Structure 1
Amino acid sequence: MSDKKKRRLMIRTIILSIMAAAVVYTLYANFTKEKHAKISVGDKAPDFVLTDMEGNKHKLSDYEGKGVFLNFWATYCDPCKDEMPDMNNQYKTYKDLGVEILAVNVGEPEFLINNFLQKYPLDYPILKDKTKDIMSMYKIYNLPATFLVDPEGKITMIEEGRLSEAKIKGMMESIKP
């Protein structure tokens, strides 16, 4: 076999390998895209069960019939520290009107959360997402992140970043049953 034929065979093999890899990747992406799809406004909120700081279990679907202000946060997050007292102020008003706050701490040990709660006493449940599974399920990359869930369990708003107290009040008003 001549050098020219060997080179041609090599180039064809490389091209076929690249095409086969592209086909395999396309099939993989299509079969897993639902699993990796970003959560959007109008979607049913993915259900989860997490434990709070007192050991009580909270299942999101148990809150159907109420509006849920679902907030993801961490103790190292300065915007989280700023908005949590404002959330607490509004919670005192809206909890009797059918709006709940579920504040999900992402991946931190209990002693850090407890230290935070000593500085910032809060009336709403603080849930622990120790493995960050719920954070991943909701496709959260920036903290704080807030999802509004209406009484039917559908997401009506997604906000990333610090919220003002006026914005929190408006958001709670929008999911009030």
Structure 2
Amino acid sequence: MATLLLGMNVAWAGPKLDVEVKDGDGNVYSLSELKGQVVYLDFWASWCGPCRKSFPWMDQMHSKYADQGLKVIAVNLDFDTALATQFLQQTPANFTIAYDVDHKVANEFSILGMPSSYLFNREGELVNTHVGFFSENLLEYEAELVRLLNESKK
């Protein structure tokens, strides 16, 4: 069963952009304030092998599409943020990194595996989720972002 869940792509009327996350400097971000942008919200941990593969891709997508309205936020779930810091020294990120050491936000999203990514349109509606990260799907993942960015241009 766990193997089946790893490649799941599902959208449902579940989580909304009404939660807050905190970055390493203690700044709090209200995700509801991101309406108007396409949001790629990723949950990850330092021990997650596929997360090491997803970070360069998220960095590339952020660099390529941020000026078109893409906001990438990666929420770390390690209980010890020092582990996340070590991960980020080896796998740098130029997008927003947030921390959820008590898993309050992760519980609202009912995380099924690592990484778990949630894609929201500019209206703040959840349109898709991906559990796991698969290199063979990179073109599909990017096409989905581009479609949302183009679809919701005003």
For 1:34, the equivalent position in structure 2 comes to none
2:112–2:131 CA contact under 8 A, matched in 1: no
Over the aligned positions, Cα root-mean-square deviation in angstroms equals: 1.7
Which runs of 5 or more residues in structure 2 are unaligned? 1-9
- Tell me by how many angstroms 1:40 deviates: 4.6
For 2:124, the equivalent position in structure 1 comes to 153
TM-score scaled by structure 1? Answer: 0.73
Q: Does 1:57 align with 2:6?
A: no
Would the alpha carbon gap of residues 163 and 53 (structure 1) be closer, same or farther in structure 2, given more than 3 Å must change?
farther
**What are the superposed Cα offsets for residues 100-140 of structure 1, whole Å, 9 maximum, x if unpaired?**
00111113312111111111110011110111111111111
Aligned pairs, number: 139
Sequence identity (%): 27
- Tell me by how many angstroms 1:42 deviates: 4.2
Larger Rg, first or second structure (1 or 2): 1
For 1:174, the equivalent position in structure 2 comes to 147
For 1:141, the equivalent position in structure 2 comes to 112
TM-score scaled by structure 2? Answer: 0.83
Which runs of 5 or more residues in structure 1 are unaligned? 1-38
Name whichever structure is richer in helix by fraction. 1
**What are the superposed Cα offsets for residues 19-58 of structure 1, whole Å, 9 maximum, x if unpaired?**
xxxxxxxxxxxxxxxxxxxx95245615111111232211
1:70–1:148 CA contact under 8 A, matched in 2: yes
Stretches (4+) displaced over 4 A:
none
Would the alpha carbon gap of residues 169 and 65 (structure 1) be closer, same or farther in structure 2, given more than 3 Å must change?
same
